[in-house]
Amino acid sequence: MASVSATHLILFIASIVVAAGIAGTLVLEVDNLSGAIETQGSATSTEIETEIDIISDAGQPDSIYDAGDEETDERITLYVKNIGSEHLEAHHSAVDILVNGQYVSSDHTELEHLYADSSSWQTGDVVELTIDLEGANGDIEIDGDTSATVIVNDNEDSIDFHVAGDDGGD
- Binders in 20-39 for other proteins, by CB under 8 A: 20, 22-24, 26-27, 30-31, 33-35, 37-38
Phi, psi of 80 (to 5 degrees): -120, 130
SS (H, E, C) 100-123: CCEEECHHHEEEEECCCCCCEECC
- Measured from the CB atom, the residue of 41 and 165 that comes closer to other proteins is 41
63 binds other proteins (CB under 8 A): yes
- Measured from the CB atom, the residue of 9 and 102 that comes closer to other proteins is 9
What's at 52, amino acid-wise?
A: I
- Measured from the CB atom, the residue of 124 and 144 that comes closer to other proteins is 124
**41-49, 89-97, 99-107, 145-153 -> range binding other proteins (CB under 8 A):** 41-49
- The 65-94 contact track toward other proteins, x by CB under 8 A, reads --------------x-x-xxx---------
142 binds other proteins (CB under 8 A): no
**Burial call 62-77: b when 16+ CB within 10 Å, e when fewer:** eebbeeeeeeeebbbe
Q: Give the count of alpha carbons within 13 A of 110, CB side only.
A: 9
Contact (Cβ atoms closer than 8 angstroms) between residue 113 and residue 121: yes
120 binds other proteins (CB under 8 A): no
Q: What is the DSSP letter of 66?
A: E
What's at 102, amino acid-wise?
A: Q
The residue ranges that bind other proteins (CB under 8 A) are: 8, 11-12, 15-16, 18-20, 22-24, 26-27, 30-31, 33-35, 37-38, 40-42, 44-46, 48-49, 51, 53, 55-57, 59-64, 79, 81, 83-85, 114-115, 123-124, 126, 128
